[in-house]
Chains A and B, each alone.
Chain A
């Protein structure tokens, strides 16, 4: 069996990064909070850069619980969308230029989201990584963890359920 020659690394990286950038930068609220994503292969890490407007308790000070929830939810949705789009990004079926121009795919919708606040969020950068526990055609279940200085000391974790966007196949019956 003849193996096709692998694509040059730059081409693959460029396509993956362009798709991720379009996905993240297309959402105003992600820009408002200043959330970025670090990519290693298909693994994503959410990055929440500390800013004064994220403070919930000015006396401690601590990150607002709502910001923590939003950060975890955003990381979940982007990770889930990324996993869902990955085969099309790899095959080149996704047109990254159209994506960058704002033609975003439909994103999963949150059904419910439950956050455990384990310790207060300190006034510094935070990181989050999500795991897709189950990705069905209609529903998905995602777990996400967030930490600051130590990977082992989570300051919050969450579990959420999402409604997947309809595929062309499911729309036609």
Chain B
């Protein structure tokens, strides 16, 4: 179990795009993962307000959901996204880190189902939520 957690963290940190976005895996458990992404001027989607682009939030959601699947005790190995839906509740406050927590709430031999929520410093009002299905790759 400990090895799998370590493996997931190494895997996430070896992903070039996750590194490019400065994503940090701050917590990983049995089917849950938390990733933090600091505010960065390069990721701005609306130059007038400085709000981060939805695409950067999508990248974070996708990575975090994948990490949650890999950390699940029943997942033998890697995973790939089948589909991912993201709902944007509000703009993330410029200057603040975004934190995403994903939960793999059900897993079968072939498919893992995941939900995720992203927030900034105001933890009570989500920035975005996601739900998706992922493949379960044989080890």
The answer to whether A102 touches B47 (Cβ under 8 A) is yes
The answer to whether B85 touches A64 (Cβ under 8 A) is no
The answer to whether A110 touches B88 (Cβ under 8 A) is yes
Q: A66-109 CB contact bits vs B (8 Å, 1 = yes)?
A: 11011101100000000000000000000000000010101101
How many angstroms from the CA of A111 to the CA of B62 in the assembled complex?
A: 17
The reply to whether the CB of A17 lies closer than 8 angstroms to some CB of chain B is no
How many angstroms from the CA of A67 to the CA of B80 in the assembled complex?
A: 14
The reply to whether the CB of B117 lies closer than 8 angstroms to some CB of chain A is no
Of the candidates A26, A29, A53, which one forms a contact with B56 in the assembled complex, judged by CB atoms under 8 Å apart?
A29
Of the candidates B48, B56, B78, B84, which one forms a contact with A104 in the assembled complex, judged by CB atoms under 8 Å apart?
B48
Kindly list chain A residues whose C-beta atoms are within 8 Å of the C-beta of B85.
112-115
The answer to whether B88 touches A67 (Cβ under 8 A) is no
Q: B26-62 CB contact bits vs A (8 Å, 1 = yes)?
A: 0000000000000001111111100011111011111
The answer to whether A66 touches B47 (Cβ under 8 A) is no
Q: How many residues of B contact A (CB 8 A)?
A: 38
The smallest C-beta distance from A45 to any residue of chain B, in angstroms, reads 18
Q: How many residues of A contact B (CB 8 A)?
A: 38
How many angstroms from the CA of A117 to the CA of B83 in the assembled complex?
A: 6
Residue in A closest to B88 when the chains form the complex, CB atoms: A110
Kindly list chain B residues whose C-beta atoms are within 8 Å of the C-beta of A111.
87-88
The reply to whether the CB of B81 lies closer than 8 angstroms to some CB of chain A is yes
How many angstroms from the CA of A27 to the CA of B61 in the assembled complex?
A: 21
The smallest C-beta distance from A78 to any residue of chain B, in angstroms, reads 11
Kindly list chain A residues whose C-beta atoms are within 8 Å of the C-beta of B63.
56, 64, 66
Contacts A29-B56, A73-B55, A109-B88 given; does A66 touch B43 at CB 8 Å: no
Chain A residues near B (Cβ < 8 Å): 26-33, 52-58, 64-67, 69-71, 73-74, 102, 104, 106-107, 109-117, 120
- Sample of 16 more A-B contacts, CB < 8 Å, known A29-B42, A29-B53, A66-B59: A27-B53, A29-B44, A30-B53, A33-B55, A55-B17, A64-B17, A66-B60, A69-B55, A70-B59, A106-B48, A109-B88, A112-B88, A113-B54, A113-B88, A114-B85, A115-B83
